[in-house]
Amino acid sequence: MENKTILITGGAGFIGSHVVRLFVNKYPNYKIINLDNLTYAGNLANLKDIEDKPNYKFVKGDIVDGAAMYKLFEDEKFEAVIHLAAESHVDRSISNPTEFVFTNVIGTVNLLNAANRTWKDNFEGKLFYHVSTDEVYGSLGHEGLFTETSNYDPHSPYSASKASSDHFVRAYFDTYGLPSLISNCSNNYGSYQFPEKLIPLFINNIRNNQPLPVYGKGLNIRDWLWVEDHARAIDVIFHKGKLGSTYNIGGHNEWTNIDLIKIMCTILDGKLGREKGSSEKLITYVKDRAGHDLRYAIDSTKLKNELDWVPSLQFEKGLEKTIDWYLANVDWMESVTSGNYQDYYAKQYAKH
Ligand code: NAD
Ligand code: DAU
């Protein structure tokens, strides 16, 4: 494998840390530079196992700072970018949409500008890979799947900001020829996910015997994918994806929230030695999320047919593995839920 210097943004976050780990371990010839400004969601403890590897470097920086991004590109001479840095939580986007415009839209445009200016005399061998979400397609009814040609129809400030960033990436491909690709993935689960998202939040609350705040009737449907399968898909798309293309990534694994929550309760009753049915008693139906998308489900046939990727891990096994990880890493959970998290939790759930 040839030498390459790759910028991974948002590498201290949930998915980013899995992508950084995969690339650092699998490609010793690549120099991986992880740029992250360590917001509440970024945590260097997520990368403890690889932080001393010779092909890894961490840079603290803010993608909203365009001049700093340009300087970083000049200094480091990246051949490629895998862009994951973002504000990623829908509920926070409802409380503070502007933050999402800065990071997700302006931050992405800053990186596109830096790549375009630095690479413009020779686009050969360069790649800007933008990691996006299935939420840009909006909400499905009970039938159908999102394909790469589904219309964009975002509903939350988060998904609107991600949709906007996707449009900018395509605009730079069409206008300047900037070599780029995009993938749109469904809901990820696994280790190191910040406990504002459904699965780690509910694991933590069950462990602490706290109420489980189910939005609405719990009948919204998500398509869950193990985060390490997402990282594997990003690896394949990065190396073999067609420039200018979009790839949908999903688990073919749809669950209503309430069914998923009940399985988590059953698994945790067993693991925590509690009486069967006791965790389910923590379920509390609360006011629905504003603009709550009913259903996401991805058709990833293109990725399977063109690049031979399929998910590797069956969901119930993956969920149990994930629960085991959180139970074995209570220190990690306690460190990320101290301080500001308590304020966030109190404010967020007072609204519901
Ligand atoms: P996350 O919130 O766990 O991590 C985001 C990371 O970006 C954090 O480390 C944070 O510190 C960093 N960051 C935020 N603002 C920054 C800034 N201004 N400058 C530099 N770094 C900044 O998010 P995640 O769940 O790992 O998602 C990563 C990417 O994947 C996002 O682009 C998200 O839209 C996309 N995505 C997520 C999912 C999912 O289920 N979590 C699914 C599909 C796509
Ligand atoms: O589909 C991909 C997207 O998945 C990513 O782009 C986002 O970054 C990621 O956060 C995720 O978005 P969701 O809104 O689907 O994930 P979240 O974990 O916040 O919620 C999952 C479902 O659970 C959703 O229907 C809302 C519901 N929910 C969530 C929370 C936090 C509850 O019922 N109660 C809760 O407290």
pLDDT in tens, 245-286: 999 999 999 999 999 999 999 999 999 999 999 999 999 999
pLDDT of residue 339: 82
Phi, psi of 198 (to 5 degrees): -45, -55
Distances (CA, A) of 171 to 145, 178, 324: 26, 9, 43
Q: Of all atoms in ligand 1, which is nearest to the CA of residue 197? A: 41
Q: Which ligand is nearest to the Cα of residue 197, counting in written order?
A: 2
Distances (CA, A) of 138 to 67, 123, 153, 162: 34, 33, 5, 12
Task: Check if 195 has its Cβ closer than 6 Å to any atom of ligand 1.
Answer: no
pLDDT of residue 175: 98
196: its two tokens:
């504002």
Task: Check if 101 has its Cβ closer than 6 Å to any atom of ligand 1.
Answer: no
84 CA to middle of ligand 1, Å? 5
Among the CATH numbers 3.30.1780.10, 3.40.50.720, 3.90.550.10, 3.40.718.10, which is that of 4-193+224-254+294-315? 3.40.50.720
DSSP string, 147-209: -TTSPP---SHHHHHHHHHHHHHHHHHHHH---EEEEEE-EEESTT--TTSHHHHHHHHHHTT
pLDDT of residue 101: 98
pLDDT of residue 43: 96
Sequence-distant (6+) residues with CB within 8 A of 143 are: none
- Name the residue ranges covered by the structural domains of the chain: 4-193+224-254+294-315
**What CA–CA distance (Å, rounded) separates 173 from 249?**
21
Q: Which of 102, 101, 106, 88 shows the shortest CA–CA distance to 42? A: 88
pLDDT of residue 2: 85
207 CA to middle of ligand 1, Å? 26
pLDDT of residue 352: 80
Three-state SS at 348:
helix
Task: Check if 154 has its Cβ closer than 6 Å to any atom of ligand 1.
Answer: no
294 CA to middle of ligand 1, Å? 23
Task: Check if 214 has its Cβ closer than 6 Å to any atom of ligand 2.
Answer: yes
Active-site residue list: 134-135, 158
Phi, psi of 145 (to 5 degrees): -135, 155
Which segments in the chain show pLDDT lower than 50? none
Task: Check if 135 has its Cβ closer than 6 Å to any atom of ligand 2.
Answer: yes
Task: Check if 188 has its Cβ closer than 6 Å to any atom of ligand 1.
Answer: yes
The strands making up 80-83's β-sheet, listed across from edge to edge, are 56-60, 30-36, 4-9, 80-83, 127-133, 180-185, 246-249
26 CA to middle of ligand 2, Å? 31
- Determine the residue of 84, 196, 341 to mutate for testing ligand 1's pocket, defined as the one with the most ligand atoms within 8 A of the Cβ atom: 84
281 CA to middle of ligand 1, Å? 33
Q: Of all atoms in ligand 2, which is nearest to the CA of residue 89? A: 10
Q: Of all atoms in ligand 2, which is nearest to the CA of residue 197? A: 18
